[in-house]
Structure formats: C-alpha cells, structure tokens
Structure 1
C-alpha cells in the first residue's frame, strides 16, 4: 500500500486527494477543495492575474502542509485549462515548485479527458451500457470522452467552461435572454466540433463529473445541503436535470447564495456550468435518438480527474 496525493488545479478550483493506493484501488484519507479562480480574466487577457496567482499559491502551501502531516509518499500536481492558456504560466510553475517541491504537469486536453474518464467510470458496474460518455465541465474547458470498459477511444477538449462562459457572456444578474442565447451559441458550436471527433450516436450511458454537474444534481435532488453520498452515482431523468439547469441559470445571485448545497465560490459561475450541461445533455440525447437509440437519464459521479490522477501517481 502506498499513500499518494493528487492535486488538480483548474480554472476555478484547486483540489487535493490524499489516498492509500493498493492494487489499483484507492482508499480516501482526505479530500479538500478551495475555489481560487486561478483563471480569472485569462480568457480576456491571456495571462494569470497576480492576485489569482497569490490565492492559488497560498492554497498550494496549505496542501503541502497536509501532505506532510499525512505522510504522503508521492505527489502528482496537474494543471489544466487556465494554465494551458496563460502566457505567464512559468511564474505559477515556479511558485508551486517552491511550495510543494514537485513539478507542475500542464496536461493536454486529451490527457485531462483520459484521467477524468478513469476516475468517473470507477463507480459504474458491469450492468451499464458499454459505451460511456464522460463529460467533465471545468472552469475553462469541457472534456467529452467516450469509451467502453476502462479505456477511452475518443475524446475532445472544448474551450467552454463555467468561468469562461460567465466572463464572456453572462454579465447581468440574472443573465438576459440575449446573453444566454449568445453563450448557448458558443456551446452549440463547440458541440458541433465535438460531434466530428466523438461518435455521440454510440452513447449508452452519460456520466457528468466536477462541481457544476454535482451542484446541478444537488438542486435536481432538492438537497438541503451538499451531500456527496446522495449525489454520487445518482441517476436522474435528463429532462429533470435540464429543468434544474434552467432554474439555476434564471436565479438571481441572492437566491443562489441561499441554497444550502451551493459552495460560495461557485455562486457566480454556476449559471454558465448549468447552461453547458443542459446543452450537452440535449445534444447527446438527440444524437442517440437520431440513430434509433434512447438516452433518458444522466449519471453523476463524485469521482473524476482527481481520482484518475491519484491512480496514476508514479512512486
């Protein structure tokens, strides 16, 4: 048994998983998540904001201390969309090395998709249809990855994410219909691109991961607080999920803040994430139906790229 740590630093949040790994199976020691908004303004400027960098490196220092406290033997630190896009990424990479003593791995969208797939499908049993589409909605990008078993065979990373869509289009509280339409047009154009690469007609099970999806699921379930055990492996009708997405998108900020399951750092961007998830569900269901199939439910997984990173840590 080996104690490993996985750190996933995305556009909106930085997350830590410390786990004991044995024979390819993880046993959680602790999970942490902080919303640091590293990608604040990157879509517009192409660079990290100094204050966002400071927030993220402070969180990295706290994670380094937790790794020491829990006797971690090996760490893998992965950075995704915002770091891929930022011209001044080296400042961030150097700061993480100083705080944690490891090198940041700025992974490609395809690598991100594969890691998300590995984590997400770990909750599915053999009764699920063979072709599984994992959808990972992040702050700056969204990954769609399709495969059977534990290995993906088609994937794409799209430059649509909850932070990117919010900063680009959703400026009012709540957003106007014109703003929603503009954001939806961006998402649909990206999904047109995805359909050329990922054969959506094959999808038998659609699995959503990451904070936008889990928050929408909590709303669809009517949870009074964030309850991972209720959210994980939940299977809900697609129309019910899309209704929850529309509700969150239309809510004023004060109403979103009052929801017991809503993380404070997600309040201002959940509308963008909900819009993406609703559009993905509609498009995939329509593609499956066009091929004579029937996709009626969406699965939510609390296991995602963070688990995939932990499973891949080299010791």
Structure 2
C-alpha cells in the first residue's frame, strides 16, 4: 500500500487529498479544501498580494499537520494559473518549502489539463469516451480531449476569479458587463477549439467547484452533497438557466443558498457563465459533474 498526499493550489482554493492507492485501488483518507483566493489581483498586478500569500500559507500549515499525523509516504504540491502568472511567486514557493520541506511544482496548463483528465475519467467506462474534460478554475480553464489517454489539451485564461475581476465586478452584473465577458470567453473557447476537438466528444465532463456548484443548483439541493453531485448528468438547458439565475441575484441572495460555499459567492456568476458558453460552443446536450479532478490525478501520479 502507498499512502500519498496531493495538494492542488489554484487561484481561488487550495485542496488536500490523502489517499491509499494499492494495485489500482483508490481509498480516500482525507479530502479538504480552503478558499484562500491566492490569485487576488494577479490578473491586474501580475503579483501576489501579501494577504493572499499569508492566507494560503496558513492553510498549508494546517495541511502539513494532517500529512504528519497520517503517515504519508509521498507528497506532491502542484500550483497552477495564479502562480504561473505571479512575478513574485518565489515568496510563496519558498514559504511552502519551509513548511512542508518539498518544492512547489508550478505546472504548465497542459499538464494541469492532463492531471484533471486522469482524475475525471478514472471511474468511467471507455464506452463513454472519447471524453472532453473541462476544468474551470479561478484563473484558467483547461480543455482536454482523449479516450484511454490524452490526445489534445489547451489551457486558456478564463477562470472564474479572472473573469469576475476583469468584467463582472458588480452583483448582479449589468448587461454590458455580461456582454463584455461573453466576448472574452468566446474568444478563449475558440482559441482552445483550434487545438482541442471540443465538439467531437461522446461525454463532456466538467470538474472543479464551479461545475459542481452549478450541478448542485440544477439538482435543487438544499445543501452541498458531493455524493449526490458526483457523476450527476446536468442538461445544457439547466446550465443556461442556472447561469441566468446567478446573473439576476444579489450577493446576499447567492450567499443564502444552502449549497453555496462562502468563498464562491462573488465568483460563481462568472464561473457559471463560462460553463454556459462552453456548453453552447460544444453543442453538448449535458455535462457529467465530477468530484474527481486534478487533485485525484496528482494522487494517481504519485504511484508511478
């Protein structure tokens, strides 16, 4: 048996997964998430805010205690969009090394996409492929296509935090803000489509917090239930309806939703809009919501 710890540090959240992996069998031991908004202001300033670094390192301290107490053998820490963009990333990565004693891997968007693909498709039958896995993060969105393995991948800068900071800075947003965001999003999707055959997949799988929160809304859940959300099939028309619902709500109304994580309140409108535009561009009739994503892919990578 190999007990591994995977840490995924994105633009909006940092997550820990401790798992036992034996002969292809996967058993989750710990799964935790903290919304730290590491990417606060990165799109505009190209550097980490000191408060964002402090919040994130505080979460890393908590994760370190968990890792130490659970007898973990291998640890991998992957940082994505915000860390790729920040010119002062060494302040953050040095802080992590001091706490955990390991190097932070600042992975390129294409590797991020491949890890998401591994995590998202591991439980699905190859009969449901080829797959298009879409990972809407805080800073970027990854598109990855393949069957048993990845054949095409592209990362574009249309994450929910980035789109919120760039366009949707009031809640509810104005029609002009939404229109500007749609132009930006559609250009990025078209860029991805030059590399990835986004309309040829048999199954569209969407991973990460935006997609699972949209699924929770479409399922009318009273509270967030990852077991009901995982592998739920959400029709395209439900995605468009949910995106429109968030666009019409105040921040207080969104915050009052039982399934809404407090750290997603101010970015879910942008995230849902990105997912809605992806559904329109791909022509997919539904998406499969997956709670297994890049974090699971990082864990699996530690068994190689």
Q: Give the TM-score range, shorter chain.
A: over 0.9
1:236 to partner: Cα distance: 2.0
1:229 maps to: 227
1:314 to partner: Cα distance: 5.7
CA offsets 1:95-131 (integer angstroms, 9 cap, x no match): 0000111110000000000000000012312441x21
In structure 2, distance between residues paired with 1:201 and 1:241 = 17
In structure 2, distance between residues paired with 1:199 and 1:300 = 20
Q: TM-score, normalising length from structure 1?
A: 0.95
| RMSD of aligned residue pairs (Cα, Å) | 1.0
Q: Where do 1:153-168 residues align within 5 Å?
A: 153-168=151-166
In structure 2, distance between residues paired with 1:109 and 1:204 = 23
Report the CA distance shift for 1:52/1:228 in structure 2 as closer, same or farther (over 3 A). Answer: same
2:132 maps to: 133
In structure 2, distance between residues paired with 1:213 and 1:281 = 12
1:178 is aligned to 2:167:
no
1:260 maps to: 258
1:111 is aligned to 2:100:
no
CA contact (8 A) 2:126 2:147 kept: no
Q: Where do 1:14-163 residues align within 5 Å?
A: 14-128=14-128, 130-149=129-148, 151-163=149-161
Q: Which moved more, 1:24-33 or 1:256-265?
A: 24-33
**Which secondary structure does the structure 2 equivalent of 1:216 belong to?**
helix
Choose which of 281, 284, 297 in structure 1 pairs with 2:286: 297
CA offsets 1:158-200 (integer angstroms, 9 cap, x no match): 0110000000011112100100111111000001111111112
1:25 to partner: Cα distance: 2.8
In structure 1, distance between residues paired with 2:153 and 2:261 = 29
CA offsets 1:27-55 (integer angstroms, 9 cap, x no match): 00010000000000000000000000000
In structure 1, distance between residues paired with 2:8 and 2:114 = 14
In structure 2, distance between residues paired with 1:3 and 1:50 = 33
1:290 maps to: none
1:307 maps to: 296
1:207 to partner: Cα distance: 0.4
In structure 2, distance between residues paired with 1:42 and 1:93 = 16
Which residues of structure 2 form unaligned runs of 5+?
A: none
Which residues of structure 1 form unaligned runs of 5+?
A: 286-294
CA contact (8 A) 1:123 1:301 kept: no
**Which secondary structure does the structure 2 equivalent of 1:255 belong to?**
helix
1:26 to partner: Cα distance: 1.7
Q: Which runs of 4+ in 1 moved over 6 A?
A: none
**Which secondary structure does the structure 2 equivalent of 1:201 belong to?**
coil
CA contact (8 A) 2:144 2:153 kept: yes
CA contact (8 A) 1:249 1:270 kept: no
In structure 2, distance between residues paired with 1:169 and 1:126 = 39
CA contact (8 A) 1:249 1:271 kept: yes
